[in-house]
Amino acid sequence: MRPGAAGSSRRRRISVERLCAEAAHYNASFAEQVRRWAILDAFYVPTRYPNSLPDSIPARVYTTDAAREAVRLAREVVAYVTERFEH
Let me know if residue 49 belongs to a domain: yes
Let me know if residue 52 belongs to a domain: yes
Q: Residue 77: helix, strand or coil by DSSP?
A: helix
- The span from the CA of 40 to the CA of 68, in Å, is 12
Structural domain of 60: 36-86
CA 64, chain centre distance (Å): 18
Number of domains in the chain: 1
pLDDT in tens, the chain (87 residues): 445 455 544 566 779 999 999 999 999 999 999 999 999 998 888 777 878 888 888 888 888 999 999 999 999 999 999 998 887
**Nearest Cα residue to 37 out of 53, 21, 58:** 21
Let me know if residue 8 belongs to a domain: no
Let me know if residue 45 belongs to a domain: yes
- The model carries a pTM of 0.73
Let me know if residue 51 belongs to a domain: yes
